[in-house]
Amino acid sequence: MLVERIPDAKGISLQLFASSRNSPETTQTHGRRHLLEHVLAKGPNFDLDARLEACGLFLSASTTRDYTRFEISGSSESLVQAFAAMREILLPLATDPEHIKKESDIIEQEIALLSPEVRFSTAAWEIGFGKSLLDPYGTVSVLRATSPDELRAAQANELSGNNLLLSVSGPADVDETLKQGLALFAGLPKLPRELPSERPGAKPGIGEASERGEARAAIAPSVASPKTLCELAFAMGVASQDKQCRVHYTVSNFQGLVLLTHPIKGRLSGLLEESRGGKLDALFLPGRSLVRSWVAGYLRTASGSAFLRGVLALHDRALQPEAILNEIDGMTLAGFREAAEAFRIGHAIEVVGKP
């Protein structure tokens, strides 16, 4: 559990992370963690949101390849209610087939509304990692066929005591917050087995996506690695040259992808080609400044800080954002130039979209 006191923060943020390391998904279970997130976020009596919002708190939830996250944010005067709500999320799941079908329908809509950047990202991950690391959204037919018992088993696996991390940031008293947080975890079962911590490595390659435009991804070690930070600086520097160009990266302690997308086919390749030679060096200072601002930006709000501190500590207890900022400050032009190479065809993952 992490507690950070930010005396002048306007609100409080509690974020519960459940690591996915114990719940690898296969094509037969694809999206089960996502479905579980949807069902748990309703609370055992389906009235969690009503009670939270009545005191100015808001519950949101998300699922990535690395974790499922529940966040309650809002008024720090309602800290007790926020902890009580988190406790309800950890209670044994109460659900039935009708509820599962309804949430599956909602997830079908969610998938239909995914942004082009996310669709390019999904395609890039599939090219790089194959079927060994499926997207977090799921396959709707698999979700609809999930039984309540299967979902309960998934909950027992994913939300076990040694799989969880609670990150709290805001103006609240640290001792009181710690006391409430420890009570939250008390009595939760712990899994006996050794937990896997590595994921299969990505390989460069080329593939297609049904979106318009194109994408290029550099394979990145963990977020704290100087290589990843240089790749992010390069990507942000390139993207700053074209309003339509986007950077997509999921903060992770594991290997991942730093993805650049552009909605017009050929334009990204052109930008990457342009950013060679003297122009590459000209991108170094803006790129480093942009990536520093991106990390520092998380630390400006209780929600951002609780997120970044939590996601870093989930799989590496010693890792803190300040160490990442120090790495960025020490970034060199040589490292930046190497990062640019990681986006070249042959080193990178290339996704070809529609014209």
Q: Applying CB under 8 A, which residues contact other proteins?
A: 10-13, 49-50, 53-59, 73-76, 102, 105-106, 108-110, 112-113, 115-116, 212, 240-241, 243-244, 263-264, 267, 279, 282, 285-286, 289-290, 292-294, 296-297, 300-301, 303
Which CB, 168 or 219, lies closer to other proteins? Answer: 168
Which CB, 116 or 335, lies closer to other proteins? Answer: 116
Residue partners of 214: CB distance under 8 A and separation at least 6: 261, 262, 265, 266, 267, 268, 269, 350, 351, 352, 353
- Minimum distance from CB of 271 to other proteins (Å)? 12
3-state secondary structure of 27: coil
- Minimum distance from CB of 287 to other proteins (Å)? 9
Which CB, 133 or 232, lies closer to other proteins? Answer: 232
- Minimum distance from CB of 46 to other proteins (Å)? 9
- Minimum distance from CB of 138 to other proteins (Å)? 14
Label residues 164-176 b or e (16+ Cβ within 10 Å = b): bbbbbbbbbeeee
Question: How is residue 344 annotated by DSSP?
Answer: S
The tokens 């074209």 sit on which residue? 242
Which CB, 74 or 310, lies closer to other proteins? Answer: 74
Torsion region of 213: left, alpha or beta (phi above 0 gives left; psi -120 to 50 gives alpha) = left
- Minimum distance from CB of 116 to other proteins (Å)? 7
Q: How far apart are the C-alpha atoms of 340 and 157, rounded to whole Å?
A: 40
Which CB, 53 or 149, lies closer to other proteins? Answer: 53
Asked if 286 and 292 touch (Cβ cutoff 8 Å), the reply is no
- CA atoms within 13 Å, Cβ hemisphere of 246: 17
